[in-house]
Structure 1
Amino acid sequence: MRGVRTIAGDTANTLLFRELGRSDDQAEEAFWLINPGLAEYGAVLPAGIRVYLPEIEEKPAAAARASVWD
């Protein structure tokens, strides 16, 4: 489990996307499970808080593109 410090204006989604390259439901759920009590800070996390990132091996499945000709 890798730990990082938040920067000003971080939310769970922006932090996950910056550090893991994804912010889907699976990554966010794992993030909140390994960081209990973090939700008490609200939607925007204060700068300098040490949080832990989930170790998720697989990338989310890419959504099929829709076309007007389908």
Structure 2
Amino acid sequence: MSNTPSSVELLATDLQGPGVIACPNPKMTLWSGHPKVFIDVATTGEGKCPYCGTVYRLKAGEKLHSHH
């Protein structure tokens, strides 16, 4: 198993609620590998899972509608 953290590019529509993403995400093969956490992506445009190190990054040019 690779220890290299993966990076996931997100669209604004992938985010839940106030600009967060759940990890592990359904596309992961080890989706039950750690407790489900919600990672804030809206604040800085990216967030990192404290458990597996996966980086979730908002795709360039994507706009969140919840912030003015």
Taking structure 1 as the reference length, the TM-score comes to: 0.25
Which structure has the larger Rg over C-alpha atoms? Answer: 1
* Higher relative contact order, chain-length normalized (CA < 8 Å, sep 6+): 1
Higher strand share goes to which structure?
A: 2
Taking structure 2 as the reference length, the TM-score comes to: 0.26
Higher helix share goes to which structure?
A: 1
